[in-house]
Amino acid sequence: KWVLDMGQGVYDDFGNIEAIEGIVLDVTVQKKQKGQIVFLKEHDQLTGIYSRNRLQSEIKKLDHPSNWPLSVIVCDINGLRVINDAYGNEQGDKLIIKVAYLLQKCCKPGQVLGRVGGDEFMILLPCTDAQGAHKLSEDIHSEVERYNHGKKQSHYAISLSVGYSTKHSGYQKIDNVVKYAEKYLKNTKLLNRQSYHSAIVSSIMAALYAKSQETEEHGQRLGQYARLIGENLGLGLADLDDLQLLSKLHDIGKIGIDDRILNKPGKLTDEEWKMMKQHPEIGYRIALSTPQLEHIAKYILHHHERWDGAGYPRGLKGDTIPLLSRILAIVDAYDAMTEDRVYRQAMSHQCAL
C-alpha cells in the first residue's frame, strides 16, 4: 500500500518524546490512478507501445553526442485504409496491433519504438549508423515475410514500407533527420503502391468468392455481355476495358456484408436489406483507396441505381446515372435471372429478355 503519513511528537515535562500522534491515510487508489494517467499519456492505447508525445521527449533526450550516430526508422502499413473499408475498423485495429508486435520483436534493448499516427510507427536507434538502420529495416521485412508465410489462410498479407535516416553530428538538426526518413518512406511507398494494392484486392476477391455465391465465372459472363453491349453502342477501348474491370469487381463491397445475409435462402428483412444496400458504398471506398481502381469507383457506387430513380444508394435517375453503371446493371440483372439461385430456379433466356 501507498500511505500519506502526518504526525507529531508528544513530549513529557522534561522535553523528551514519549509518543507520536498523527494520522496515516491509505492513498493507494490515488497513486494507482496517477500512474495510469501517466501511462496513458505516454503509451498508445491500442498497441501499448510509446505514444507520439513520449517519442518526442525521447528524441530530445537521445539527441546527444553520446548517442551519435542516431538513426530514425519510420514504418507505414500499406493498404490499411483498404482493409478498414473491406473488413471493418476492428480488423484494421488487429492489423495495427500485430504490426506493433512484429516491430517489437525486431527491436533490441535501448532502441525506442512508438506509434506516431494511424498506420505509422517510428523507431529510434541510438549509437547506430545508416548501415545498422538498413540492417534493422531488412530484419523487419524478413519478420513480416515469416509471419505472412505462416498465415497462408489469412484474407490478406501484412505489407510495410520502411524509411530511415541518420544523424552523425551536431550540424544536423534532428527534425530534418526525421523529415529525410519520412521522405525516404514516401518514395518507397510510391514504388510499392501498385503491387501491394493489387495483392490486397486479389485477396479480397478470393475471400468474397469463398464467403458468398459470387463466382469468378459470374464476373466473366458479365464481362462478355457488357462488352457486347459496349461494342454495339460504339464505346471506345478505354470504356470497354473499364466495363471488363467493373464486371469483375462491381460487388467487391459485399466483403463487408455479413455472410448470413449474403447467403440467406429466404427474403431479407428490412434491416438485412438496409445492410445489403451498403455494399456499393463499401466497394466505392475500396476502389477510391486503390490506385488501379480509382477510375471505376463511381461506376461501382452507382451500379444499383435505377432509371426511374428507385435504386440505391443515391436514388439517381435517367441519364444522371453513369452509362457504364447502367450497362452493368442490365447485364447483372440478366445473369441473375438466367442462373439458379438459392431462393429460386433460373428463368429462360426469353423470359429474362
Write the pLDDT tens digit of every residue in 100-129: 999 999 999 999 999 999 999 999 999 999
Comparing CA positions, the residue from 215, 228, 214 lying closest to residue 327 is 228
Q: State whether residue 113 is helix, strand or coil.
A: strand
Q: What is the mean pLDDT of residues 247-251?
A: 90
For 283, residues 6+ apart whose C-beta sits below 8 A from its C-beta are: 249, 250, 251, 252, 253, 254, 300, 301
Longest CA–CA span in the chain (Å) reads: 119
Checking if the pLDDT of 51 tops 70, the result is: yes
Q: Which of 124-128, 208-212, 342-346 has the highest mean pLDDT?
A: 124-128
Q: What is the mean pLDDT of residues 319-342?
A: 92
- Written as nine digits, the cell of 41 is 499519456
Checking if the pLDDT of 16 tops 80, the result is: yes
Contact of 95 with 77, CB cutoff 8 Å: yes
CA distance 65 to 169: 7
The dihedral through the CA atoms of 129, 131, 135, 138 has a sign that is: positive
CA distance 249 to 266: 25
Predicted pLDDT of residue 210: 78
Residue position matching grid coordinates 504490426: 99
CA distance 47 to 96: 7
Comparing CA positions, the residue from 168, 173, 57 lying closest to residue 122 is 57
Query: Partners of 21 in the beta sheet?
Result: 8
Contact of 140 with 146, CB cutoff 8 Å: no
For the chain, the average pLDDT equals 90
Q: The pTM is what?
A: 0.76
Q: Where are any strands of DSSP class E within the chain?
A: 3-11, 17-26, 70-77, 112-115, 120-125, 160-167
Q: Which of 123-127, 197-201, 207-211 has the lowest mean pLDDT?
A: 197-201
Checking if the pLDDT of 200 tops 80, the result is: no
Q: How confident is the model at residue 154 (pLDDT cuts 50, 70, 90)?
A: confident
End-to-end CA distance of the chain: 81
Checking if the pLDDT of 211 tops 80, the result is: no
Contact of 83 with 145, CB cutoff 8 Å: no
- Written as nine digits, the cell of 218 is 459470374
CA distance 143 to 146: 5
Q: Running DSSP on this structure, what letter comes out for residue 22?
A: E
Q: Which of 7-11, 150-154, 342-346 has the highest mean pLDDT?
A: 7-11
Chain centroid to CA 2: 43
Write 235-241 long-range contacts (CB < 8 A, 24+): 239/323, 239/324
